[in-house]
Amino acid sequence: MDTYLGLEYFINANKRIFFLYLISSVLIAFLYLYFNKNEKRINLSKKLWLHPSAKLDYIYFFISNAIKLLLIYPIVISAKTVAFSTSMFLMDYFGYIRLHTSYELVIFYYTISIFIFSDFTRYLTHRLLHLLPFLWQFHKVHHSAKVLTPFTFYRVHPIENILFGFRYSLSIGFITGVFVYLFAGMIDIYSIFGVNIFVFIFSLCASNLRHSHIKIRYPSFLEKVLISPYMHQIHHSTKYYNKNFGGYLAIWDYMFSSIQISKDIKKIHFGLKNKDEFDSIRKLLFQPFINLLKK
């Protein structure tokens, strides 16, 4: 039961800070620092981990989780409901169709379809948060972090959490509904600890370092396919915050001209230009509404 106000996140493989993901990120970070000794000072410094922005993230993590449990989860439509509605809609308009293929192939197609479509809708939603001024007011909460730690991932306004909750249910539900319609009960996913195998692998490969000061880059050709940790850090910078919207895949940024590969970016600064706008729990929750009322 999710009554531990966030502590279950460490033992749930569906969460970014699942203990195995954290351990793998720490190991990769220390390997990186071994070969980049000049970066040890900032990454192992109390000034980073006990920075006011970082401490705000730690506290907000538990508060935002309580808000999700009490206010957000009850109002977000479930993926199962969307899946049922999608399959019924297809049945009503196109009649009875069943495709016959091997169970293993159906699982493979479903696993990869869920991963790719979910990542694409995440990209679109994230880009809308930047493009639409009223949504940007809420997304600014996430970009207000002056230093990055794995807990910065959860520095998200409740309105944004609602939006992403619906995005998840609609995208997963839609793909599931299509597969239920085409293959009846022959659907499942390749998973590890109950997590889509592709998500598990990407999460294990240092996803937590995206919100860190560990500047892991990929070769330029690979960064046109996959988002490297440093590419997401670039997204958090004051200069390139309208680049690199992708979740796991960079192909969407490459296709829609919002990509900034890391090769030529040497130094970045995190946060917003108005540095004091989100420096308390009260401001994280209410400042977006105040900003909108001022307009």
Give the rounded percent of residues in the chain with a pLDDT score beyond 70.
97
d(CA 184, CA 186): 6
Task: State both tokens at 209.
Answer: 């370092």
- Comparing 221-230, 244-253, 268-277, the range with the smallest average pLDDT is 268-277
CA atoms within 13 A on the CB side of 220: 5
pLDDT in tens, 228-239: 999 999 999 999
- Closest listed residue to residue 108, CA positions, set 219, 15, 183, 210: 183
State which residues form the domain around 32: 16-211
- Residue 188: the pLDDT is 87
295 in a structural domain: no
64 in a structural domain: yes
- Residue 2: the pLDDT is 47
261 in a structural domain: no
- Residue 5: the pLDDT is 57
d(CA 293, CA 295): 6
CA atoms within 13 A on the CB side of 150: 19
Number of domains comprising the chain:
1
pTM: 0.93
Q: Using 50, 70 and 90 to split pLDDT, how confident is the model at 57?
A: very high
Return the ∠ at Cα 270 (arms to 266 and 272), rounded to 5°.
135
Residue 264 has pLDDT above 90, yes or no: no
- For tokens 């922005």, name the residue: 53
Residue 261 has pLDDT above 90, yes or no: yes
257 in a structural domain: no
59 in a structural domain: yes
Largest CA distance in the chain: 64
245 in a structural domain: no
Give the rounded percent of residues in the chain with a pLDDT score beyond 90.
83
Give the mean pLDDT of 277-282: 92
d(CA 208, CA 15): 11
Residue 214 has pLDDT above 70, yes or no: yes
pLDDT in tens, 69-81: 888 888 899 999 9
184 in a structural domain: yes
d(CA 160, CA 154): 11
280 in a structural domain: no
- Residue 275: the pLDDT is 67
- Residue 252: the pLDDT is 98
d(CA 289, CA 99): 50
Q: Using 50, 70 and 90 to split pLDDT, how confident is the model at 140?
A: very high
